[in-house]
Structures are given as C-alpha cells and as structure tokens.
Amino acid sequence: MFNVHQACCKNCWTGADWCWIDAERVAWSPTQLMECIQIIIHASAGKMIHVVRVPNKTAFDYMCGV
C-alpha cells in the first residue's frame, strides 16, 4: 500500500527548494494530494515549494480520439 506520509517526508529530508508532484500521470485521490501537500509544508517548515501538475483536458486531447 502507498504510504503518502513516508513518500512526502523523504522529499523534505533532501533539503531541496521545491518538490514536483505529478498528479497527471499517477492516480492521486484529492485526499492523498492534499495530505501530501500538507506534509511537505509541515515537514519542511514551509521552506519547500510544492509544484503540482493536475490532469486537464484540452481541445487537442478531445480531437486525438477522433
């Protein structure tokens, strides 16, 4: 089972300035995504910026299915 807390805390321990969360390619539930962002903010004491890519459908995506 995926442990959101461990995965997010490991990113904070690296000392990086930012963290990329790809919610477009991985099936994150809204609850997991929110929990991960909160863990990043808490574990890094607000020093790590989180960048989240969320799924989005554009006109190009709809035309590809034709």
Q: How far is residue 66 from each of residues 13, 50, 55, 63, measured CA to CA in Å?
A: 46, 36, 20, 5
CB 59 within 8 A of CB 24: no
Q: Tens digit of pLDDT for each residue in 7-56? A: 666 666 677 788 888 877 777 788 888 888 888 888 888 888 888 887 77
Locate the domains of the chain by residue range. 4-64
pTM of the model: 0.63
CB atoms within 10 A of CB 11: 20
At 2, is the pLDDT very low, low, confident or very high (cuts 50, 70, 90)?
low
Residue-wise pLDDT for 6-19, tens only, equals 666 666 667 778 88
pLDDT band at 1 (very low <50, low <70, confident <90, very high): very low
Q: Which two tokens stand for residue 57?
A: 């459908």
Q: How far is CA 45 from the centre of its chain?
A: 17
